[in-house]
Structure 1
Amino acid sequence: MPRDLRRFIALLESRGQLRRIPAEVDPDLEIAEIADRLLASGGPALLFERVKGSRLPLVINALGTVERICWAMGMEQPQELESLGKKLALLYQPRPPKTFSQAVELGQALFSVFKAKPSRDLLPPCQQVVLRGEEVDLGQLPLLRVYPGDAGRVLTLGLMVTKDPENGIPNVGVYRLQLQSRNTMTVQWLSVRGATRHLRKAAALGRKLEVAVAVGVDPLVIMAAATPVPVDLSEWLFAGLYAGEGLHLAQCKTVDLQVPAHAEMVLEGTITPGEVAPDGPAGDHIGYYGPRNEQAPLIRFHCLTHRRDPIYLTTFSGKPPKENDMMALALNRVYTPILRQQVPEIVDFFLPMEALGYKAAILSIDKAYPGQARRAALAFWSALPQFSYTKFVIVVDKDINVRDPRAVVWCLCSRVDPQRDVFILPDNPFDSLDFATEKRGLGGKMGIDATTKIPPETDSPWRDPLTPDPAVAELVNRRWAEYGLADLNLQPADPRLFGYEF
């Protein structure tokens, strides 16, 4: 059975993680309201069999938990994601091996690349039905309107494929598209994304930019598209590395682009540089409405191909938790070895979901010299393109669990003098969707050194932390059953017991 959305849906259903909804539901606000309640409670994926105004069934919340994301990537535990990250780190910035074991490890990684090479399908399922010209009617898709203040219906989980007009290297990204007419959509993207570079190059060459949008792909391919890859590597190759086998691609019918052969549908079109239309406002991942953009690039679609009886896969953004937040948590594990290779002193790092996936980062370091925390923060901001938009970086010692908010807050309050340990970088390129900045697209960054201070960082003697006596701790371990406490579960307590509300 090929790797595709249908196989993943079958897996979810077999594990009790999919609910079919036979009642007719409205894609205007109603579906999002239902899905949002399930997302907030870690509920199952939903397959709406009857969507008002469309003949297509709709799947949402497929990647609504980290567990389901692991399943999509052929894994069972989040810890396995870090093993994948180690392999990717070798390829992201390869270094000459210094030992035989390192040579073997690099060789295995390179062999994985060989196996991951994509192949071409001559009779791809995504082209079982072909619609051209006036036959293309995007209004027949079950596009969602998520929030009452949204300007229109949106497509949110399609993989947009473009190609560098100069070197031909493709870029795959996930962007929000807003319906404008029967065959046009506007696209909302950030200036650092690969597709925007391609549009700028196309404009300089006086060409249109060809675009393909694949909808309903294997979720593993979505995760590959969200991974920070070097600009000269293809996301298709990374998808093959994730899967352990090459991805099946199909040549589009009307544009010189390739797409996943087992996608449910593919939209083909072009962007004429300078042709724009108003886009938004729309609910955004920040948790507020994004502004109306009068200059959003306009895509004209002239071909739509799809499988027989296609399934529409979608999601939506907003205040966490949302599916994109679960993806960010999973990718956090993948990023870690890549980041360690870029910034060796980093032991671990975490991007809290409540920080919108990337607005705040917590780093732990093996501190060896004064000023190292600041160096680590500065290196983090430049390590990967995604981190250039991180507002806050908190650096703690290696003994602190970066995923424990109570431990991090304790460090902030016990190890930080704001006058000495907080530094601001003003006027940096910034996420244009973040309206908290005074100037759109330009804002500050804050670094916080929450590590133990060593001279000359401080002239005051640093106190010893409170720790139990090792001999007594071992004694209590031995006598635990004798105390009559063997039946007690000593997992971390529910934070609500200490006055925290969720």
Structure 2
Amino acid sequence: MAKDLRDFLQLVEQRGQLRRISALVDPDLEIAEIANRMLQTGGPALLFEQVKGSPYPVVVNLLGTVERVCWSMQMEQPQELEALGKKLGMLQQPKPPKKISQAVEFGKVLFDVVKAKPGRSLLPVCQQVVKLGPEVDLTQIPMIRPYPKDGGKIVTLGLVITKDCETGTPNVGVYRLQLQAKNTMTVQWLSVRGGARHLRKAAERGRKLEIAIAIGVDPLIILAAATPIPVDLSEWLFAGLYGGKGVQLAKCKTVDLEVPARSEFVLEGIITPGEVGTDGPFGDHMGYYGDTNEAAPLIRFHAVTHRRDPIYLTTFSGRPPKEEAMMAIALNRIYTPILRQQVSEIVDFFLPMEALSYKAAVISIDKAYPGQARRAAMAFWTALPQFTYTKFVIVVDKDINIRDPRQVVWAVTSKVDPIRDVFILPDSPFDSLDFANERLGLGSRMGIDATTKVYPETEHPWGEALRSDPEIAAMVERRWAEYGLADLVMGEADPNVFGYDIR
């Protein structure tokens, strides 16, 4: 596990995936424009060494490829993440082991939990420089403004840390914050998120809510905080499970909260219930400007601590590809074993980046009875909280490569009768950022059964799928070079496999 952001930057640079830029750049629009062009081409992470208006460098596009997301989790391929998902699934719904081998496996998982417990740092580097009261000046931090009509400068990859005033349980989330003045920011979070719940509880008891923002942490911790998997674990323990080693935490200077000890910046403040500011509009992940929120909670900061020569880590939302989409593709692999545990007939599932990594899902099932595809779609929508906002679910047979859009489109067009195989659920709770809905926050969902139909779903026998002769296919593979085609990629033998895989 990398100790911090700097360790990971060093790894990325050693692998030729970091570009240092010494030219002076403007955090207002320019940095985002450069980074967006890199994201479109799968380019390297960018470290801007000279930023207008700030003494601090800026890193962006650090997690701009699935490959780099995997590196941040000490893995090389997304497929390796399924082993982690299996481990988390065992913790979520432990079952009595029936075999010695299962008992040993579960024992290893419990040992991993022990190793993942967070530690404490007595001399945290995040507090090498301490600024209190009138010394606090957030305008010195090189926050970016990504789009021309954005309402202001933003923090996007900060860990927002709060605590339940009754139980003392902390919550770590990743929410957008907007700079308002030299010592104030607004925070934009959904009402179902942990920070919003903590603020409501504090308001009910007439208390102020303490808050800390940790910026520039090990990307693995960001991924842990952004993963909404229903496991009864703290985000710190979750990050330790991701990395195989406990996160080192430090007590804040002025609030009763803990932050990663090797953060680049830490902002400490309070929210007074009812004190609000105007937040937005901002370019959002849907590809549009979001609405202005005139009642966003206002944070007043009274302390800023940071490392010597700190590095500012940032990103921005928008129509894919963006860093958040690359993170989602990798995390999709973690969800898969957990989803299989919740819905046993699901073989695999995929959330396409082009569908904003959550608006559409493709599910493959091992179909055994009529109506099973509809059951799988309904179960998917209720399996994990984040799937509540999935607008379209397409269910296909297990032999379809769900990551190949040509195969999925073939299944939909060749196996679907819309009047029989499409079903719609009206008036469902929905994402308030989805402007396609007639009423914001309330919308419909569509399920599409693109599986092969069985009786009584259809009254006639289904046609037999085309297949190559296996002996001829093997012979062609052996003689491919003999045909003089060695310099050309050989397609799959099965005509139903289109030879295109975006895994």
Report TM bin, short chain.
over 0.9
**In the aligned structure 2, how far is the partner of 1:108 from the partner of 1:189?**
36
Instruction: Output the amino acid matched with 2:270.
Output: T
Structure 2 unaligned segments of length 5 or more: list them.
493-497
Q: Normalising by structure 1, what TM-score?
A: 0.96
Q: Name the residue aligned to 1:368.
A: 368
Q: Name the residue aligned to 1:173.
A: 173
**In the aligned structure 2, how far is the partner of 1:440 from the partner of 1:2?**
41
Q: CA deviation at 1:193?
A: 1.5
Q: Name the residue aligned to 1:439.
A: 439
Residues 64 and 323, structure 1, Cα contact 8 Å, conserved in 2: yes
Q: Name the residue aligned to 2:88.
A: 88
**In the aligned structure 1, how far is the partner of 2:141 from the partner of 2:241?**
32
Q: Does residue 384 in structure 1 map to residue 380 in structure 2?
A: no
**In the aligned structure 1, how far is the partner of 2:436 from the partner of 2:115?**
46
- How does 1:358-437 map onto structure 2 within 5 Å? 358-437=358-437
Q: What is the aligned length?
A: 494
Q: Does residue 9 in structure 1 map to residue 9 in structure 2?
A: yes
Q: Secondary structure at the match of 2:24?
A: strand
Q: CA deviation at 1:102?
A: 1.4
Q: Name the residue aligned to 1:330.
A: 330
**In the aligned structure 2, how far is the partner of 1:255 from the partner of 1:68?**
34
Q: CA deviation at 1:232?
A: 3.3
- How does 1:65-144 map onto structure 2 within 5 Å? 65-144=65-144
Residues 128 and 305, structure 1, Cα contact 8 Å, conserved in 2: yes
Instruction: Output the amino acid matched with 1:154.
Output: I
CA deviations over 1:258-316 (Å, ceiling 9, x no partner): 11000101111111222211111100000000011111111111111111110000000
**In the aligned structure 1, how far is the partner of 2:225 from the partner of 2:154?**
19
**In the aligned structure 2, how far is the partner of 1:226 from the partner of 1:69?**
13
Q: CA deviation at 1:165?
A: 2.2
Q: Name the residue aligned to 2:36.
A: 36
Q: Secondary structure at the match of 1:13?
A: helix
Q: CA deviation at 1:379?
A: 1.0
Q: Name the residue aligned to 1:495.
A: none
**In the aligned structure 2, how far is the partner of 1:161 from the partner of 1:137?**
20
Instruction: Output the amino acid matched with 1:209.
Output: L
Instruction: Output the amino acid matched with 1:249.
Output: L
Q: Name the residue aligned to 2:495.
A: none
CA deviations over 1:215-274 (Å, ceiling 9, x no partner): 000011111111123363101101111111111001111111111000101111111222
Instruction: Output the amino acid matched with 2:297.
Output: P
Q: Name the residue aligned to 2:150.
A: 150
Instruction: Output the amino acid matched with 1:309.
Output: D
* CA spacing shift, 1:2–1:347, aligned 2, 3 Å: closer
- How does 1:346-361 map onto structure 2 within 5 Å? 346-361=346-361
CA deviations over 1:165-184 (Å, ceiling 9, x no partner): 22222111111101111111
Q: Normalising by structure 2, what TM-score?
A: 0.96
Residues 177 and 186, structure 1, Cα contact 8 Å, conserved in 2: yes
CA deviations over 1:184-228 (Å, ceiling 9, x no partner): 111112222121222222222222221111000001111111112
Instruction: Output the amino acid matched with 2:352.
Output: P
Q: Name the residue aligned to 1:189.
A: 189
Q: Secondary structure at the match of 1:282?
A: coil
Q: CA deviation at 1:349?
A: 0.5
Q: CA deviation at 1:491?
A: 6.0
Structure 1 unaligned segments of length 5 or more: list them.
493-497
- 398-407 or 271-280: which moved more? 271-280
Q: CA deviation at 1:110?
A: 0.6
Q: Secondary structure at the match of 1:80?
A: helix
Q: Secondary structure at the match of 1:53?
A: coil
Q: CA deviation at 1:78?
A: 1.7
CA deviations over 1:56-110 (Å, ceiling 9, x no partner): 1000000000111111111112221111111111112222222221111111111
Instruction: Output the amino acid matched with 2:450.
Output: A
Q: Secondary structure at the match of 2:181?
A: coil
Q: CA deviation at 1:2?
A: 5.9
**In the aligned structure 2, how far is the partner of 1:370 from the partner of 1:174?**
42
- How does 1:470-489 map onto structure 2 within 5 Å? 470-489=470-489
Instruction: Output the amino acid matched with 2:403.
Output: R
* CA spacing shift, 1:221–1:407, aligned 2, 3 Å: same
**In the aligned structure 1, how far is the partner of 2:228 from the partner of 2:81?**
15
**In the aligned structure 2, how far is the partner of 1:212 from the partner of 1:24?**
31
Residues 160 and 213, structure 1, Cα contact 8 Å, conserved in 2: yes
Instruction: Output the amino acid matched with 2:412.
Output: L
**In the aligned structure 2, how far is the partner of 1:81 from the partner of 1:486?**
34
* CA spacing shift, 1:232–1:477, aligned 2, 3 Å: closer
Instruction: Output the amino acid matched with 1:145.
Output: R
Q: Secondary structure at the match of 1:485?
A: coil
Residues 169 and 232, structure 1, Cα contact 8 Å, conserved in 2: no
Q: CA deviation at 1:369?
A: 1.1
* CA spacing shift, 1:312–1:93, aligned 2, 3 Å: same
**In the aligned structure 1, how far is the partner of 2:478 from the partner of 2:67?**
35
**In the aligned structure 1, how far is the partner of 2:64 from the partner of 2:267?**
25
